[in-house]
Structure 1
Amino acid sequence: MSVDTAAPPAAPSGPGRRFWDRLPESVDRRIRVFAWLSFIAEVTIIATGGAVRLTGSGLGCSEWPLCTPDSLVPTEDMGIHGVIEFGNRTMTGVVGLLALAVLVLVLRIRAERRDLFVLASVVVGGVVAQAIVGGITVWTGLNPFVVGFHYTASLLLVCVTAAFLVRAYDRPGPRTRAVPTWFAVLTHITTLALAATIFFGVLTTGNGPHSGDANVVRDGFDATLLAHIHAWPGYILLGLVLVMLIAAWALHLPPRRWLIALLAALAVQVFVGVWQAREGLPELLVGIHMVLAALSAAAFTVVVLRLKRPVSGS
């Protein structure tokens, strides 16, 4: 019996070698593909959830987990609102299945890639919790605080799936700081500005005209005043990111390319925010604003993770 002594394929040389070398052997292509699909699904469900709220379809299905007391799916007399709400619920199932697929694929490498296993587990647990919160949202008649928490939790899941993608393309093992201490401190201060911007944005929406149903009682705050308060940390955030980008390019720091993406997303976000305020909050612009907030948070997550690099890759 002959023995195949052929050597394994050599790693490519030239410009592509650096990318090849940084791919961890323990993470195969299927994990990355499903991780990308999971991230896209998490962003998509923010868009579909926004559609529910912006079209006044929050109570399109009056019950949970059923749509009506007698039907899992919307009935004909429920109209378009029932279809939109049930479509968002269906998207929850897609998100859950993709998250579960990532977790199952990571199980076999959980010993050497505990970081990926933990992140995948958080996403699965978060999706289950989100489904329950969605039910509570219906049971409370679209309480604005519960609805706001529901959106914020979805945004956090976008950040976790983004973090999974970053780590899936990094080598496992110890990591070392790749930026000066002052830059890391500035980044974490910027995190607070981002969190404040999102918080006041959610609070503003909870008191505006798009609360999911015409009969929903708002939080009781002045939406016009909140809109101005929401803008202040937003402008501060934009300024801080610009400073970070200039410093990162001057010092050739690893986060610099993602800071470009983050600054672009924030600039568009500010433009859309001003535009929607001047146009009386049209539904489409508000929906775009919601999705951009999630993408900005995801980009910032990548920036934070790029503050360190794998020791083996240094």
Structure 2
Amino acid sequence: MSHTRRSASPHRRPALPRFLPTLAWASFVANVGIIATGGAVRLTGSGLGCPTWPLCTPESLVPTEEMGIHGIIEFGNRTLTGVLGILAILVFLLVWRLRRERRDLFVLAAVVLVGIVAQAVVGGITVLTALNPIIVGFHYVASVVLVCVTAAFLGRMREQPGPRERVVPPGFAILTHVNSLVLAVTVFVGVLTTGAGPHSGDAAVGRNGFDAVWLSHVHAWPGYILTALTLSLLIWAAIRRLRPLAWLGALLFIVAVQVVVGIYQARNGLPPFAVGVHMVLASLAAAAQTLVILRLKRNASATATN
């Protein structure tokens, strides 16, 4: 009888719209995908394949035959932005009727929608400033943030609404947030390193003025610290059987592959494909860390019944 009462919690998860999980996953994958296509634009020297914005040329929305493959690559990246916008609108509309019961999902969906619109504008500024490395770096970081928000949406979508409480030791929670800070520093220094390196998006584009070789070594330091901290958290979670264990395993795997790719690209003259993989893996690491943070807490009523 008492179990029946606990199950009838006021925070029972309302039924989600039928297509919401599919569209939410599509939004996450597309946001990761646009990092890959954006990397392709830069790494193939197609950054000014469409030299104007919002049109591809002053006279045409789409690339002309004379623009060749660079115009196609750049326009393809712009087209994917439109797909992101459509997916964000659909997700937002589906959670609109749940905006009171699932305010968390509504806010996350709104952030993604506004963020994609803002990213389209930043993309235009990137072209109009002739691929200024600072603007390009900001464009990438903003895309990583959107990947994290879409990952958070997927994580929260699987859980009940209502008050949440921490379900890990205080020290574990603190170390997890330190891990987030180290990851952020790693990505930031990586952006500076890329902005100093040879892959500018166009042969005529200047770099940010930093020493790329020196920065590549500085970039490695927080990367190694991130690996050690993640391993420590994984061992702690395994011993105590803590809730973030599975996502910590995923994070450690991504970070370990990232270290290997980083070493490979540094020793082989920064091959474009390896650099592109490195960019995508950084976004996946940030997404996994986001889900680790979410699993530091749990719905209070769910905790009470376990």
Please state whether the residue corresponding to 2:165 is helix, strand or coil. Answer: strand
1:268 to 257, 266, 290: 257
Give the deviation of 1:23 after TM superposition: 8.8
Question: Partners of 1:257 and 1:121 in 2: how far apart?
Answer: 28
Please state whether the residue corresponding to 1:111 is helix, strand or coil. Answer: coil
Please state whether the residue corresponding to 1:309 is helix, strand or coil. Answer: strand
2:75 aligned partner: 86
1:123 aligned partner: 112
Please state whether the residue corresponding to 1:56 is helix, strand or coil. Answer: coil
Moved over 4 A (4+): none
Which amino acid in 2 is paired with 1:264? Answer: F
Question: Partners of 1:31 and 1:312 in 2: how far apart?
Answer: 24
1:239 aligns with 2:208: no
Which amino acid in 2 is paired with 1:282? Answer: P
Q: TM-score, normalised by structure 2?
A: 0.94
Question: Partners of 1:209 and 1:224 in 2: how far apart?
Answer: 11
Structure 2 unaligned residues grouped into runs of 5+: 1-10
Give the deviation of 1:25 after TM superposition: 2.9
1:281 aligns with 2:231: no
2:243 aligned partner: 254
The alignment-based identity, stated in percent, is: 65
1:303 aligned partner: 292
1:206 aligns with 2:195: yes
Please state whether the residue corresponding to 2:208 is helix, strand or coil. Answer: coil
1:173 aligned partner: 162
Question: Partners of 1:76 and 1:139 in 2: how far apart?
Answer: 22
Is the Cα contact below 8 Å between 1:23 and 1:169 reproduced in 2? Answer: no
Which amino acid in 1 is paired with 2:233? Answer: M
2:59 to 57, 70, 90: 70
1:188 aligned partner: 177
Give the deviation of 1:301 after TM superposition: 0.3
1:229 aligns with 2:218: yes
Question: Partners of 1:24 and 1:165 in 2: how far apart?
Answer: 14
Is the Cα contact below 8 Å between 2:115 and 2:146 reproduced in 1? Answer: yes
Question: Partners of 2:174 and 2:295 in 1: how far apart?
Answer: 14
Question: Partners of 2:261 and 2:209 in 1: how far apart?
Answer: 25
**TM-superposition CA deviations, 1:266-297 (whole Å, max 9, x none):** 00000000001111110111101100000010
Is the Cα contact below 8 Å between 1:187 and 1:244 reproduced in 2? Answer: yes
Question: Partners of 1:111 and 1:274 in 2: how far apart?
Answer: 48
1:4 aligned partner: none
**TM-superposition CA deviations, 1:155-205 (whole Å, max 9, x none):** 000000000000000001010101010111101111110010000000000
Please state whether the residue corresponding to 2:206 is helix, strand or coil. Answer: coil
1:147 to 136, 141, 146: 136
1:37 to 17, 20, 26: 26
Is the Cα contact below 8 Å between 1:24 and 1:169 reproduced in 2? Answer: no
Q: TM-score, normalised by structure 1?
A: 0.92
**TM-superposition CA deviations, 1:235-265 (whole Å, max 9, x none):** 0000000000000010110000110000000
Please state whether the residue corresponding to 2:152 is helix, strand or coil. Answer: helix
Which amino acid in 2 is paired with 1:171? Answer: Q
Structure 1 unaligned residues grouped into runs of 5+: 1-21
Please state whether the residue corresponding to 2:203 is helix, strand or coil. Answer: coil
Give the deviation of 1:312 after TM superposition: 2.0
Q: CA RMSD in A?
A: 1.0
Question: Partners of 2:34 and 2:222 in 1: how far apart?
Answer: 26
2:5 aligned partner: none
Which amino acid in 2 is paired with 1:294? Answer: S
Question: Partners of 1:129 and 1:63 in 2: how far apart?
Answer: 18
